[in-house]
Structure 1
Amino acid sequence: MDNGKLIFNFKAWMKHEQGLSDNTVAAYESDISIYADFTQKLLSDCSAQELIAFMTRMRKEGYSIETVLRRLSGISAFYDFLIQERIIKTNPCGFISKPSKWDKLPVFLNFDEIDMLLDAPDVNTGLGFRDRVIFETLYSTGMRISELTGLKVAELDMNREIMRVTGKGGKQRFVPMYSSLAEKMRAYLGVRRDYFVKDRDEGWLFLSKNGKQLDRELVFMLVKKYAAKAGIQKNISPHTLRHSFATHLLTNGADLRTIQIFLGHSDLSTTERYTHVTDDKTRNVLLNCHPRFRK
């Protein structure tokens, strides 16, 4: 049985027998497909050796430890399914020692590097303008890449200049836009309508040139592409903009608790809890401390 059939059967099992949400099923399917593309082997024949190589590749490409562990979780569930189907006897993930953290500090960009990255796209083109708005959105809100690609136009309140962000488990929080980002977002909505929307508009905020929902891997490649164009030597990813958001807020005087609220979890290294950004005091900290808002 080829990989496509194995993944199809796993997806059906998750949805119909396990009753998992569509988002969870899609995330697991994506993780397994990415792993299959990496190995170029029949998944039922892969061992712990391929998994270690996959983890090493992700580390070199700058993925966070949380992303690596999440992907391993999806892959492990897939192999548990294969065991249940009597296709394999043992789960290769069981031989992997799962790290709790990388042995280095998170990479973040300084203020000048952020400006270099934001200035790299050619805003005179539809694609370049979209990419500029993507980078500004990631940096100014600290949202995860999955939250960005999951944004819909309906979740923007341009009158109040806020976005409703949906995180893991369907938990939601509201994040403000600084005025110049709000201006660009209004302009992007016009570009989106005229340049990106094709025959059918499904409402996703950020679209590919084919009018489809933008996927996480493409955003990852865009960050790499423009970092190279800007001459940034650091090995960065979309998550680097999240680290930069938190670091720059802290540098400019925001307290840790407020930063945790904006990031949407209980502390800077976990994703367990979300809370709403609703009170004026918390909003004003962002307006006063984030360098893009202060401009």
Structure 2
Amino acid sequence: MFLDDVLNEYLYHCMAKGFTPKTMKNKRQELKQLKGYLVDKRGITELESVTTYDLKAYVRFKQQAGLQPQSIVTIFKMIKAFFSWCEKEGYLKENIAKKVEIPKVPKKVLKGYTLTEVQSMINAFTYKNYIEARNKAIIAMLADCGLRAMELRGLLTVNMKETSILVNGKGNKERIVFISPALKRILIKYERIKKQHFKDKVTTEHYFLSYKGSELSHVGLDNVIKLAGQRCCIDGKRVSPHTFRHFFAVQCILNGIDIFTLSKLLGHSDISTTQRYLQSLEDFELINKAIPSSPLMNLTRR
């Protein structure tokens, strides 16, 4: 079978499965690059002619191009998924990508925000106008709900309830997150100012809007977080929406939420993803958490 035909069929399969436009864009881009490499560098135009050695050569090609291990791992996950599908469809006898070794990603411990830093970033914005109120609400929601950047940007007003939020997560999976009284207080003020700002104006149905009433862009959200970091002089830490998600996870663990519940709150499909958040707990935090759960300490109380 021609690579072109199989790749085209696979992409339609992924669309039918309901993958997000962003995921589809990434799949198209990476598989197009793989096909280009196989055709131009290896002279391969048919699926059956692709071998494990060709895929190993592709990994080396990406390494020589200067790609970081994490990028190569991400790319190869898409390639492995494609060949796994080929095996299930009976186009190949086995998933040849299984035998390809990919570079190990160095484990980096993310240095998270402290409670004081998060409080400072929330207080860095006021209620004097719509943008200030919106930014304050964004920082507060990221810290208190642990949403992904795309989840926050895609949040619809209709999904905002009195004490909960219906979140459309990764892979179009829905979950419920809860609104604390502290966050609710900020959101009430934001909604009042938002209503006044967009009075008699046409807007999208998104909860957080740009100044003109359109959906908040990826860059727009990133700029909000960077501005908060600048105003509070956050130094030596990654200032991004994801760091707030990390902050939420760590605080939940420190406050006694079990990892299985946390995994559901974060919308993780695999608990190992949730476990990575624990790597950033400082030694003194681990000690404080460990003391109440010490078997001997519990025995002495009896």
TM-score range with shorter-chain normalisation?
Answer: 0.5 to 0.7
* Pairwise CA distance, 1:117: 1.4
Q: Does 1:25 align with 2:21?
A: yes
- Measured in 2, the distance between the counterparts of 1:243 and 1:121 equals 22
| Amino acid paired to 1:189 | E
Q: Do the aligned partners of residues 100 and 253 (structure 1) sit closer, same or farther apart at CA in structure 2, a change above 3 Å counting? A: farther
Of residues 120, 123, 136, the one that matches 2:124 is 120
Q: Which runs of 5+ in 1 are unaligned?
A: 1-11, 34-46, 57-64, 77-96, 272-295
- Measured in 1, the distance between the counterparts of 2:224 and 2:128 equals 17
Larger Rg: 2
Tell me what 1:165 maps to: 167
Tell me what 2:142 maps to: 138
Tell me what 2:256 maps to: 253
Contact 1:109–1:241 under 8 Å retained in 2: yes
Q: Does 1:150 align with 2:154?
A: yes
TM value normalised by structure 1: 0.61
| Amino acid paired to 2:238 | N
Bigger CA drift: 253-262 or 108-117? 253-262
Q: Which runs of 5+ in 2 are unaligned?
A: 1-7, 30-60, 80-100, 276-302
Contact 1:137–1:181 under 8 Å retained in 2: yes
- What is the DSSP-based 3-state SS (H/G/I as helix, E as strand, rest coil) of the residue aligned with 1:109? coil
| Amino acid paired to 1:24 | T
Alignment of 1:146-225 (within 5 A): 146-158=150-162, 161-196=163-198, 199-225=201-227
Q: Do the aligned partners of residues 101 and 132 (structure 1) sit closer, same or farther apart at CA in structure 2, a change above 3 Å counting? A: farther
- Measured in 2, the distance between the counterparts of 1:71 and 1:240 equals 20
- What is the DSSP-based 3-state SS (H/G/I as helix, E as strand, rest coil) of the residue aligned with 1:104? coil
Aligned residues: 222
* Pairwise CA distance, 1:69: 7.2
TM-superposition CA deviations, 1:70-123 (whole Å, max 9, x none): 9747998xxxxxxxxxxxxxxxxxxxx866644311231011111121111233
Q: Does 1:264 align with 2:260?
A: no
- What is the DSSP-based 3-state SS (H/G/I as helix, E as strand, rest coil) of the residue aligned with 1:175? strand
Tell me what 2:234 maps to: 232
* Pairwise CA distance, 1:259: 1.5
Tell me what 1:111 maps to: 115
- What is the DSSP-based 3-state SS (H/G/I as helix, E as strand, rest coil) of the residue aligned with 2:15? coil
Contact 1:107–1:243 under 8 Å retained in 2: no
Percent identity, aligned pairs only, is: 23
- Measured in 1, the distance between the counterparts of 2:18 and 2:199 equals 24
- Measured in 2, the distance between the counterparts of 1:51 and 1:205 equals 41
- What is the DSSP-based 3-state SS (H/G/I as helix, E as strand, rest coil) of the residue aligned with 1:19? helix
* Pairwise CA distance, 1:209: 0.8
* Pairwise CA distance, 1:171: 1.3
Tell me what 1:7 maps to: none
- Measured in 2, the distance between the counterparts of 1:205 and 1:270 equals 27
Of residues 244, 251, 257, the one that matches 1:241 is 244
Q: Do the aligned partners of residues 101 and 136 (structure 1) sit closer, same or farther apart at CA in structure 2, a change above 3 Å counting? A: farther
Q: Do the aligned partners of residues 149 and 13 (structure 1) sit closer, same or farther apart at CA in structure 2, a change above 3 Å counting? A: farther
* Pairwise CA distance, 1:22: 7.8
Tell me what 1:129 maps to: 133
- Measured in 1, the distance between the counterparts of 2:120 and 2:19 equals 34
* Pairwise CA distance, 1:189: 2.0
TM-superposition CA deviations, 1:15-46 (whole Å, max 9, x none): 9796357862245548999xxxxxxxxxxxxx
- Measured in 2, the distance between the counterparts of 1:170 and 1:207 equals 21
- Measured in 1, the distance between the counterparts of 2:129 and 2:73 equals 36
Task: Provide the aligned C-alpha RMSD in A.
Answer: 3.9
TM value normalised by structure 2: 0.60
| Amino acid paired to 1:235 | R
- Measured in 2, the distance between the counterparts of 1:18 and 1:252 equals 40
* Pairwise CA distance, 1:258: 2.0
* Pairwise CA distance, 1:195: 1.9
